[in-house]
Amino acid sequence: MSVHVAVIVGSLRKGAFSRSIALALKEIAAPRLDLGIVEIGDLPLYNPDLDGETPPAPWARFRGEVAASDAVLFVTPEYNRSIPGGLKNALDVGSRPYGKSVWSGKPAAIVSVSPGLLGAFGANHHLRQPLVFLDMPILQQPEAYISKVGDLLDADGRLTSDATKDFLKTFADKFADWIALTVGK
């Protein structure tokens, strides 16, 4: 039985490296994990004044898609040694209204990507802080920092590195094991 995983891509850029890695992971993780990207680019900034009986349609769509998942995979770049603003907004939208968080109890994992050498280490670790508060048990090992990501993709954004594919297969298998351990799926 396949486990449905909501994939949150931190970059909003059309040709984002993080989206390319998320799409590669979708293929690599199948059939054990069914990864589906949940879009965050259309989410208005979180404002409690808008969160009444009829919240903005993009919020309702987003919350529904995440709520329907068994687990969440975050694939993100690093902006200014932290997470992108759109990703932080998605965390806020999903955590509200108070007491109705779509994140609570969902196993999570993080893959951070960077064209530089640090593999978005700062974003990876900054993201862990709100996930702990949101009650998301986070896969600890293996940690996934993909550095020099631009060198690992072809002109169409497809992953070309066999070593990276092997690593991501190990990561996906460990994440599937983590989900099974955490929620019994």
Terminal-to-terminal C-alpha distance of the chain:
8
How many structural domains are present in the chain? Answer: 1
Q: Which residues contact 161 (CB under 8 A, 6 or more apart)?
A: 151, 152
Q: Which structural domain range is residue 164 located in?
A: 3-183
Query: Residue 107 belongs to a domain with what CATH number?
Result: 3.40.50.360
Put simply, whether the predicted model's pTM sits higher than 0.85 gets the answer yes
Residues 6-31 have pLDDT tens digits of: 999 999 999 999 999 999 999 999 99
Q: Distance (Å, rounded) from C-alpha 126 to C-alpha 81?
A: 8
Residues 94-125 have pLDDT tens digits of: 999 999 999 999 999 999 999 988 778 899 99
Q: Distance (Å, rounded) from C-alpha 81 to C-alpha 72?
A: 22
- Is residue 157 within 8 Å of residue 11, measured between CB atoms? no
Q: Which two structure tokens, joined as six digits, stand for 1?
A: 């039985």
Q: If you compute the radius of gyration of the chain from its CA atoms, what whole number of angstroms results?
A: 16
